């Protein structure tokens, strides 16, 4: 956390990163297209690398190395000075750059509201709809074993 980040701003950024990480690059780009983007520069060109993924048996057992996963990262600075960082699972460097741009915009007092309404809200709605659809599909295949009758009599 930088000196300019308050705990509430850190929470807002964390929640935004969770939404952006689950969204696709095309979805993020489409939502950002609705904004009048300010001048910005790429501080760190998108690059890909590997991170070690750790796991635990049963959630609380001893940690073990599960394997490696590809991750892309980028950094963007707005003309007004806000710096955003973006990380994305996989080798999609453009998605990492778009996430970094969103992170920088969220920190800007001028653009934070627009990002919340024109980027975050639509992405949250799309993700909630996708979650509801999956829940409905799963519920349709549920079997209630207590109502099944045995064939003996």
pLDDT at 45: 96
- Alpha carbons 44 and 85: distance in angstroms, whole number: 9
In a domain, 147, yes or no: no
Q: Is residue 105 part of a domain?
A: yes
The reply to whether 146 falls in a domain is no
Q: Is the pLDDT of residue 119 over 90?
A: yes
Q: Under a CB-based contact definition with an 8 Å cutoff, are residues 16 and 101 in contact? A: no
Report yes or no on 123 lying in a domain: yes
Per-residue pLDDT, averaged over 42-56, amounts to: 95
Whole domain around residue 107: which residue ranges? 7-137
Burial of 48 (0-12, 13-18, 19+ CB in 10 A): middle
Contacts of 19 (CB under 8 A, 6+ apart): 120, 123, 124, 127
Please check whether residue 145 lies inside any domain of the structure. no
pLDDT bucket at 148, cuts 50 / 70 / 90: low
Q: Is residue 73 situated within a structural domain?
A: yes
**pLDDT of the residue at 1:** 44
Domains: count for the chain: 1
């Amino acid at each position: 956390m930088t000196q300019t980040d308050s705990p509430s701003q850190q929470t807002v950024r964390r929640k935004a990163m969770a939404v952006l990480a689950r969204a696709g690059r095309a979805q993020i780009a489409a939502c950002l297209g609705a904004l009048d983007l300010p001048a910005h520069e790429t501080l760190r060109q998108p690059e890909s690398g590997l991170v070690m993924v750790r796991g635990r048996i049963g959630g609380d057992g001893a940690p073990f190395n599960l394997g490696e996963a590809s991750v892309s990262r980028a950094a963007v600075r707005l003309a007004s000075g806000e710096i955003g960082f973006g990380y994305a699972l996989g080798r999609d460097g453009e998605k990492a750059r778009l996430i970094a741009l969103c992170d920088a915009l969220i920190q800007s007092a001028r653009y934070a509201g627009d990002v919340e309404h024109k980027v975050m809200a639509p992405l949250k709605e799309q993700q909630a709809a996708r979650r509801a659809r999956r829940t409905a599909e799963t519920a349709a295949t549920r079997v209630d074993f207590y109502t099944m009758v045995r064939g003996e009599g």
